[in-house]
Structure 1
Amino acid sequence: MPSLHYISHAVALALIAMLIRKYIELKFHYDDLLTSCFPSPSMQHMADIEREMHDVDSLHNMWQTLDESTVHTPEYLNRELYSDGSSVMCNPTADISQRMCHFVNLCYFAEQDSYLFFHSEKSLVENIPENRYSPALVEVSSVCNHTYSYFNYVDMPVSSSRLFHINWVSTPVLIIKRFKPDNLMHVIHDDILPIYHKLKLLHLAGNSSKRFSTTLVLDDTWEEGPFFKLYNILSDSQPILKSNLRDTSGLTCFHNARVGLPKSTTWYDYGFHQPQAPLIDRKVSTVEVGSMVGYIQRELGLALSMDKNDYVVLISRKSTRLIVNEMELSLSLSRELGIKVVHVSQEQYSIEQLIETVSNARGIIGMHGSLLTLAIFLPPGSFLIELFPYAVNPDHYTPYKTLVTLPGMDIEYKSWRNMDPKKSKGHSELGGLENLSIAEQEEIMNQAEVPRHICCSDPSWLYHIYQDTEVDIHAIIELTKSSLRISNTDSERSADNKIVDNILPSKVMNIKCKFTLSKDESGQVTVSWENPWNLQFFTFQKIDYEILVQYRQSSIEPTLHQATSNPFSIAVADTSYLLWIRCVLDNHHIGPFTQVTCE
């Protein structure tokens, strides 16, 4: 007969089995309830809204609402992927440099170093070019027409997604490639400013005093680099490096991913296809630059002075492109101009220290090089003096001149070029010169000017730009003195003047016309009007008006007149006509026509 001990054990085991069975039943009921209460967002519905808005970024607020209302557990996201697969929507353009895409459930597969797109019957594929390998779907860098920037995905059936272990990133991400994160010019120009601008567009209704909630995915093989702090402060979460993705087994899937960077904030063409030069159609101004600068200074917690400080920054280099008489130059500037000279270098200063020092300076002096990009942080009314080694023409290499002369920057630019070969010391071991014949080496070393060339390995350019230089101290003192004289005038970047490139005049107001008949019976109409009402809030160099005369009962062709005064008189050939008047600011800001009938 079983003992009481065995009976107790049997009852306990039966009770445990019953509890486990009940738990499993409840878990299934809970999963069904979760799915019915929080269904997957309808991608087709999203597509209809997005097409109406004509902008892939306009869904941000909708995504924000969905993120707040949906429980993004890994289990839930797995079920959504298995059911709905992936979806993508790009802005409708044939120009790869302008295309940006929004993905749902885009997955990175480290074993193949590829992004996977899982097709299902519910997948939405909108505005994807017929051949997305010609040359690519999208560019993940602001550097145009470079194969390094090309992005694409591999097509997979949704059934195959069940074969992988999946690690989910449920927060919104922006996938980009850093072009050269060890060079400050590339960091600011190619990455930080375009990324900041993109994130600002994605968070238009967000709190401007907080960091952005989109995580950066740095899809490149670089490690963090010396300026990683600038990438780090752009988001409230740490950037995800490619090395992080490669160390993860299975798939890393991004529930909400943006891919592509805007090019509208860039100002310079590095010369991969033609000699380097400023971008012809550059649109960036201090509207975008000033916003980014203020954000970086705030997030780095820098101490900024409201008063002008009596020091200039001298960029010091430690290996090549040295200023041979740097200390003599520094002492002479201090003695002659009564101003302190602060030497800074990438080797001895952190990026925070560099930015803080420049943000409070009167100006920067330095050899042509990436640290001159720090001029973007100079206060208004300051200056940049750029020094060039022998045979390097300042007119051919202007990334920093272009930067400080962007609309509204209010920074004085001057350059100095060494014209004396005896004041230069070359480094024949650098730039590949040793791989050339003796005759070719001598030809390059004897050049008076570097010929125009394509980036980035031209031996003539590399040899001459790496030269050390004994600078003309007197000439640089005079340039500095002139720049300080200009900067002593109080200068402030007016917020109103910054945005002048983005505004148009409103309608011309209260148009009046009076017809008169002269003694020779020729007709004349005198027109008067009031300026567009919004002009009182902006400052312009030139204001013009165009008047179009259209005859109502005559076959005479309409005539366009440039008004040189107000009132303005026009000879007319009839007594019944329409007048159309519009305002033109600085020759290219054109307002709307306003119509009036004159009889």
Structure 2
Amino acid sequence: MKKNKKNINREFMSNPALNIFRFIVITCALSFSSHILISYFEGQIQFNFRPPVRKTNISETSFVSSVWCKLDPHDNSHKTCTFSNLCWVPSEEQFIFLLGEESILHGVADWRDLSILELSSVAGHNRFFLKIAVVGLPISEQSPLFHHTIIKENEWVYFLWRFKPDNIMHIVHDDLIPLYYAYEELCAGKVQDCVEKYKLIFVDDVNNDFAFDLYQMFSRKSPESGYSEDEKLLFLKDNWKSYNNTTICFAHASIGLPRVTSWFQYGFGKPQGAIEGSSISTSVIKRFTKFLLKQMEISVPDKVGAHSYENNHLPQRALYISRSVNRRILNEMDVISTTKDIYSLFKKDKSHLQVDYFNPAPNSSSSGLKEMLTVITQQSLPKLVFGMHSAALTVAAVVCLGMTAEDTDLSFLELFPLGINPVAVSPLKALFNVIMPQNSNHIFYEDWVNVNASNSVLPRVDSDPLVGGGDLCLELDLSSVLPAVECCHNKDYLCRMFQNTIVDTNSSFPKKLMSLFSQQKKYKAQGVQNQGPSHYRAFRWFFPASVSNIQCLWNITKDESHLVLSWNSPINIHMHSHHYAVAVTLEYLNYSKETTMSERMGQERIVPEVSVDLFLKVQNTSTTVTVPEQFINNSGHIIQALTWIQCVVSLKHMKVSKHTSSLDAFHKCSVKL
């Protein structure tokens, strides 16, 4: 046995290649073990491996760039696009499109379309254009790119340029709702599939941690990070800035956010205000809110938005949103107390109103949204959301709207400083005006504006001028209402918007509360009506199907001649008021000896000797058409009936009525005399 062991050792010693292999294996194992130990004593084991990427010289590249774009439904100057092999040159901070014979350019007419692609949902600002250049292949030796190394990144990425990533309203309105809508389209409604597919990459350079927790919910976790929830998001300019003489090519990249979900514009090129004709719907808001709750692992009790408070024997809730720095309400406790008192006046049983207080500033998550959602869902859904105009108030209203059932009333009361016009500055008021026709009489909004200059307190003089600081505001008359202004540093606007306010709880503010509670009371007295989002969607999208199975029955006698038409009603008009528009053309055809064979075979149109057009409005699925006497005098001739039937449905939503029609159903029949 010992002899055999010695022979084996001699074989290893006499085989240098085998010894080298053993040395490499042992070295790698020791290196891997030491890496784990070092990482462990640093606090956590981390596996920093990533899939190998292919590195080649750009002059030897075998692939080309391609792009597929589609027009935004709301803005025909804006496109969202998906690229194959969109490349980034870090040293130039420039994207390039490698144009070759096999490049596909779908949805772009020429270079002008590529040059105006935008990376944001915010319209009218020249900051968000995709900085891209077209580079023809093969690359010339004189090109500065000729000696570049190409690194091919095979992940699916989504490039995003954030407008104001330090403001929760802008994050939700400008970025997250549009991104959610884009994911619905890209992954056919399965948003989670897109979350697990796309890695978000920020093209902007505002590198702070505010609301990273929200963006991470829309970005794929990397295997090399161990799928950590704390994984840092990527910034395009920072992540690859040290790559000299290198071009990074992303095999799959999407850019552009849809504008179809936007409802407010910020004054770029025109005064700020609501977006005319906005297509945002409560349906999108509800799906977005449901997604947020699921991603944050916040459970929603069954009673939230599902039943009336009276049935659950729960106190009605209100949510008050506070501010910490500027544009504060200086008598918050008086405002809350007055709200409770006015509510009690409208309750016969003298039940009280529970007001929950929320300030988004001192929270564990950077944006405070998770804490806000936790407060909202901890009991029954608030029936009233109120506070000073703010980003947090708008977002609270959006998520409450997203959780509100169709049979549950919800009210918003938004307060404003002296001299402010709510129509010009409030995304919340703009949203209400869009969704109000969709939700009819169970969503309410009121605004309160301070009109007493003595109840207005300017920010400290040493505050930043962008938030109303400095001496300039002291010289202005702020009591006049300011019309809508263009962005961004209008002194009249800034001095008004950031004033602190003492709310008049003796007169004007109670009147607004009474108006809101009166509307709620009237809604409950009327009872739940089918006028919510489902009814609105049916009103907006419904049109009848075509009639089918048209039948003809001729009855030709000496005394009378008529045609009986019958058909099947459309499959989707049940419970809808409707009638049928019937058009009949009766033709008297003479097949004389001169009639050609092709005419008799129906290959050519025979000109009728007599033609009569009849138009009928019919309530049922059959009607009788009287045949004129001149059609039945000569035997051997043919009477032909060309029939078109259309179903017309009458719809009504709130005070708006409309008629919508089906496509014409055509039928031809004839009888020989």
Q: Secondary structure at the match of 2:429?
A: helix
1:196 pairs, out of 159, 177, 180, with 180
Cα separation, partners in 2 of 1:112 and 1:514, compared to 1, 3 Å? same
Q: Secondary structure at the match of 2:298?
A: coil
Matched, 1:86 2:92: no
2:486 pairs, out of 428, 448, 454, with 454
Q: Please tell me the residue identity of whatever aligns with 2:121.
A: S
Render the CA deviation track for 1:105-126: whole Å, top value 9, x for unaligned: 2222222111123344544444
Render the CA deviation track for 1:322-349: whole Å, top value 9, x for unaligned: 2222111112323453112122122124
Q: Please tell me the residue identity of whatever aligns with 2:410.
A: S
2:320 pairs, out of 311, 314, 323, with 314
Q: Please tell me the residue identity of whatever aligns with 1:453.
A: V
Q: Please tell me the residue identity of whatever aligns with 2:545.
A: S
Q: Secondary structure at the match of 1:181?
A: coil
By how many angstroms is 1:9 displaced?
12
2:200 pairs, out of 216, 228, 231, with 216
Using the alignment, how far apart are the partners of 2:281 and 2:614 within structure 1? 36
Residues 493-502 or 103-112, more deviating:
493-502
Q: Secondary structure at the match of 1:461?
A: helix
By how many angstroms is 1:245 displaced?
2.6
| Contact 2:79/2:117 (8 A) holds in 1 | yes
Using the alignment, how far apart are the partners of 1:556 and 1:290 within structure 2? 57
Aligned to 1:151: 130
> Which runs of structure 2 are paired with 1:331-346 in the superposition (5 Å)?
331-337=337-343, 338-346=352-360
Using the alignment, how far apart are the partners of 1:93 and 1:396 within structure 2? 28
By how many angstroms is 1:171 displaced?
1.8
Aligned to 1:506: 545
Cα separation, partners in 2 of 1:496 and 1:334, compared to 1, 3 Å? closer
Q: Secondary structure at the match of 1:100?
A: strand
1:351 pairs, out of 369, 372, 380, with 369
| Contact 2:585/2:643 (8 A) holds in 1 | yes
Cα separation, partners in 2 of 1:506 and 1:482, compared to 1, 3 Å? same
Using the alignment, how far apart are the partners of 1:341 and 1:588 within structure 2? 45
| Contact 2:423/2:430 (8 A) holds in 1 | no
| Contact 1:199/1:212 (8 A) holds in 2 | no
Matched, 1:74 2:53: yes
Q: Please tell me the residue identity of whatever aligns with 2:115.
A: A
By how many angstroms is 1:416 displaced?
2.1
| Contact 1:285/1:498 (8 A) holds in 2 | no
Cα separation, partners in 2 of 1:427 and 1:8, compared to 1, 3 Å? closer
Residues 570-579 or 375-384, more deviating:
570-579
Using the alignment, how far apart are the partners of 1:17 and 1:121 within structure 2? 48
2:398 pairs, out of 367, 371, 376, with 376
Render the CA deviation track for 1:292-315: whole Å, top value 9, x for unaligned: 111111111113232256321111
Aligned to 1:466: 498
Aligned to 1:583: 648
> Which runs of structure 2 are paired with 1:383-398 in the superposition (5 Å)?
383-398=411-426
| Contact 1:192/1:231 (8 A) holds in 2 | yes
Matched, 1:185 2:169: yes
| Contact 1:116/1:155 (8 A) holds in 2 | yes
Per the normalisation by structure 2, the TM-score is 0.66
2:663 pairs, out of 589, 592, 596, with 592
1:413 pairs, out of 434, 437, 445, with 445
| Contact 2:453/2:479 (8 A) holds in 1 | no
Cα separation, partners in 2 of 1:423 and 1:592, compared to 1, 3 Å? farther
Using the alignment, how far apart are the partners of 1:13 and 1:202 within structure 2? 57
Using the alignment, how far apart are the partners of 1:572 and 1:279 within structure 2? 55
By how many angstroms is 1:170 displaced?
1.6
Aligned to 1:29: none
Using the alignment, how far apart are the partners of 2:180 and 2:358 within structure 1? 26
| Contact 1:90/1:99 (8 A) holds in 2 | no
Using the alignment, how far apart are the partners of 1:425 and 1:528 within structure 2? 76
Aligned to 2:5: none
By how many angstroms is 1:226 displaced?
2.6
Matched, 1:262 2:258: yes
Render the CA deviation track for 1:405-447: whole Å, top value 9, x for unaligned: 5264553222222333333234495459889989xx75x5155
Aligned to 1:117: 97
Q: Please tell me the residue identity of whatever aligns with 2:385.
A: I
Using the alignment, how far apart are the partners of 2:51 and 2:611 within structure 1? 69
| Contact 1:548/1:579 (8 A) holds in 2 | yes
By how many angstroms is 1:467 displaced?
2.1
Q: Please tell me the residue identity of whatever aligns with 1:374.
A: A
| Contact 2:450/2:501 (8 A) holds in 1 | yes
Render the CA deviation track for 1:206-260: whole Å, top value 9, x for unaligned: 5858944211111111224432222111133254223543445244331111122
Q: Secondary structure at the match of 2:286?
A: helix
Using the alignment, how far apart are the partners of 1:99 and 1:557 within structure 2? 52
By how many angstroms is 1:506 displaced?
2.0
Q: Secondary structure at the match of 1:445?
A: coil
Aligned to 2:382: 361
By how many angstroms is 1:557 displaced?
11
Aligned to 1:60: none
Cα separation, partners in 2 of 1:403 and 1:291, compared to 1, 3 Å? same
Cα separation, partners in 2 of 1:597 and 1:178, compared to 1, 3 Å? same
Residues 564-573 or 89-98, more deviating:
564-573
Q: Secondary structure at the match of 2:572?
A: helix
By how many angstroms is 1:508 displaced?
4.0
> Which runs of structure 2 are paired with 1:99-178 in the superposition (5 Å)?
99-132=79-112, 136-156=115-135, 157=137, 163-178=147-162
| Contact 1:428/1:463 (8 A) holds in 2 | no
Using the alignment, how far apart are the partners of 2:250 and 2:108 within structure 1? 19
Q: Please tell me the residue identity of whatever aligns with 2:63.
A: G
| Contact 1:181/1:225 (8 A) holds in 2 | no
Render the CA deviation track for 1:552-583: whole Å, top value 9, x for unaligned: 5599998999x696689999998956333133
| Contact 1:84/1:120 (8 A) holds in 2 | no
Using the alignment, how far apart are the partners of 2:614 and 2:161 within structure 1? 53
Q: Secondary structure at the match of 1:293?
A: helix
Using the alignment, how far apart are the partners of 2:254 and 2:422 within structure 1? 39
Using the alignment, how far apart are the partners of 1:230 and 1:560 within structure 2? 61
Aligned to 2:248: 252
- Percent identical among aligned pairs is 21
Q: Secondary structure at the match of 2:174?
A: helix
Matched, 1:278 2:274: yes
Cα separation, partners in 2 of 1:121 and 1:317, compared to 1, 3 Å? same
Q: What stretches of structure 1 of length at least 5 have no aligned partner?
A: 1-6, 20-70
Render the CA deviation track for 1:114-144: whole Å, top value 9, x for unaligned: 1123344544444434233x78241111112
Q: Please tell me the residue identity of whatever aligns with 2:386.
A: I
Matched, 1:403 2:425: no
Cα separation, partners in 2 of 1:282 and 1:207, compared to 1, 3 Å? closer
Using the alignment, how far apart are the partners of 1:472 and 1:567 within structure 2? 64
2:285 pairs, out of 279, 283, 289, with 289
Q: Secondary structure at the match of 1:171?
A: strand
Q: Please tell me the residue identity of whatever aligns with 2:521.
A: R
2:570 pairs, out of 523, 532, 552, with 532
Residues 225-234 or 422-431, more deviating:
422-431
| Contact 2:119/2:160 (8 A) holds in 1 | yes
Alignment size in residue pairs: 528
Cα separation, partners in 2 of 1:287 and 1:498, compared to 1, 3 Å? farther
Cα separation, partners in 2 of 1:73 and 1:106, compared to 1, 3 Å? same
Pick the structure with more helix per residue. Answer: 1
Q: What stretches of structure 2 of length at least 5 have no aligned partner?
A: 1-9, 23-49, 222-230, 305-313, 344-351, 588-607, 632-640, 653-657
